Chains A and B, each alone.
Chain A
Amino acid sequence: MGKQSRLRILLNGLIKENPVLVLVLGTCPTLAVTTSVENGVGMGVSAMAVLVCSNIVISLLRNVIPDKVRIPCYIVVIAGFVTIVQLLLQAYVPALYASLGLFIPLIVVNCIILGRAEMFANKNTIFDSALDGIGMGLGFTFALFLMGSMRELLGNGTWLGIHVFDKFIPGMGIFNLAPGGFFSYAVIMAAVTYFAAKKGAK
């Protein structure tokens, strides 16, 4: 595979095949954790780490795993990975664990990871799968960052904890709740689709 297409694998996840905004994967963690920018980015980065590792392992085992039992195999590998990462963080980086700890169990049920194992890692080489993991992870983090920014700004009047206008106008509480999550998701998704279509038409 040439350099050109490797770059494409990496960039695909950002906009064109963004896992959240285009492929509509991982919706549950997206809606749940994006009440603030910090939470969104924390979830995005932890999911990316697991995604890259699980993509590598599944790509490594792609010729060993029989088709019939591939899904249980992926789940065992992913859940094992997540638990190992959780234990290691808890033991050696307790400060990081204190801020990310809550997101880690949520990663097991993140369907982006299972989705990429099924759609990409079991058909491609280790290196390409790792690149796909990084690209998709960045795309996920980017989408969570956008959602988190919108919800924190409108819901709290702050951005990344910095006071923007919360001292003058109180935030709209609904953006901190589930309905606000759906509103923001729809608006951002529509905007991305609009720009993608415009670019495609040119």
Chain B
Amino acid sequence: MKSNTYKEYIAPVVVLVCICLVVTAALALVYGVTDPIIKKNSKATADKTRTELLKDADSFTEYKGKLVVEQPGAVYVKDVYVANNKAGFVATCVTKSFGGALTMMVGVDKEGKVTGVKVTNHADTPGLGTKDFEAGYLSQYKGIGELKATNVKDDGQIKFITGASVSGSAVHYGVYAALHQYKDMGGVK
């Protein structure tokens, strides 16, 4: 009877707990090793993207002032890097898309016009929706100084892709937030 209790109840729990502990330890170990490298990689990529989006800029300094929050916790400007030669700034915006948070970078020149948009991180399923993240689609925002609405359908300036308007609107809202940031900063100073 005693061995039965052990086999029936204790052994499964012990084995499951052990497997969980081993897997957790392995994960912690791998995370500890890879996390600094991942952070370094993403910083290098972010710096490269900033230069791509604002070609006239020489180098960047982080903006320490107030950042725009459109919807708390969902749509906001995460950071702003201002070009040292005052050619403009590049804002990193977080918006909500189909698969959750979407991170994108928007370059804005000193006249307040968009110089480029790039989606840097998202969790949408690849396919139709992610067409809105391709360079061809995003280049439509170049030169735009003001968006009329936060939703891509209501704005009318962008030719959006039918059936992929959730991702399209996420991108649109991000650009909207970046331009709002330009207004709040009162230009590039």
CB contacts between A and B, total, < 8 Å: 79
Chain B residue contacts of A87, Cβ below 8 A:
30-31, 34-35, 38
Which residues of A in the span 36-80 have a Cβ within 8 Å of any Cβ on B?
Answer: 36, 39, 61, 64-66, 68-69, 72-73, 76-77, 79-80
A102 CB contact (under 8 Å) in B16, B31, B123? B123
Chain A residue contacts of B35, Cβ below 8 A:
87
Return the CB mask of A102-145 against B: 1 if under 8 Å, else 0. 11011000000000000000000000000000000000000000
* A173 interfacial by beta-carbon distance below 8 Å: yes
> How far, in Å, is B30 (CB) from chain A's closest CB?
5
Chain B residue contacts of A92, Cβ below 8 A:
34, 37
Whether A73 lies near B16 (C-beta < 8 A) is yes
Whether A90 lies near B19 (C-beta < 8 A) is no
Chain A residue contacts of B135, Cβ below 8 A:
none
Chain B residue contacts of A65, Cβ below 8 A:
15, 19
Whether B126 lies near A39 (C-beta < 8 A) is yes
> How far, in Å, is A6 (CB) from chain B's closest CB?
29
Nearest residue in B to A40 (C-beta to C-beta)? B126
* A35 interfacial by beta-carbon distance below 8 Å: yes
The main secondary structure of chain B at its interface with chain A is helix
Return the CB mask of B1-42 against A: 1 if under 8 Å, else 0. 000000110011101100110011011001101110110010
Number of interface residues of B (CB under 8 A): 30
> How far, in Å, is A27 (CB) from chain B's closest CB?
14
* A191 interfacial by beta-carbon distance below 8 Å: no
Whether A90 touches B128, Cβ cut-off 8 Å, given contacts A65-B15, A66-B15, is no
* B163 interfacial by beta-carbon distance below 8 Å: yes
Chain B residue contacts of A83, Cβ below 8 A:
27, 30
Whether A88 lies near B126 (C-beta < 8 A) is no
* B71 interfacial by beta-carbon distance below 8 Å: no
Whether A80 lies near B128 (C-beta < 8 A) is no
* B125 interfacial by beta-carbon distance below 8 Å: yes
* A84 interfacial by beta-carbon distance below 8 Å: yes
Chain A residue contacts of B16, Cβ below 8 A:
69, 72-73, 76
Whether B23 lies near A77 (C-beta < 8 A) is yes
Q: Which residues of A contact B (CB under 8 A)?
A: 32-33, 35-36, 39, 61, 64-66, 68-69, 72-73, 76-77, 79-80, 83-84, 87-88, 90-92, 94, 102-103, 105-106, 173, 176-177
Q: Which residues of B contact A (CB under 8 A)?
A: 7-8, 11-13, 15-16, 19-20, 23-24, 26-27, 30-31, 33-35, 37-38, 41, 45, 123-128, 162-163
Q: A76-B23, A91-B38 are in contact. List 5 more A-B contacts (CB 8 A).
A: A65-B15, A69-B16, A73-B15, A83-B27, A91-B41
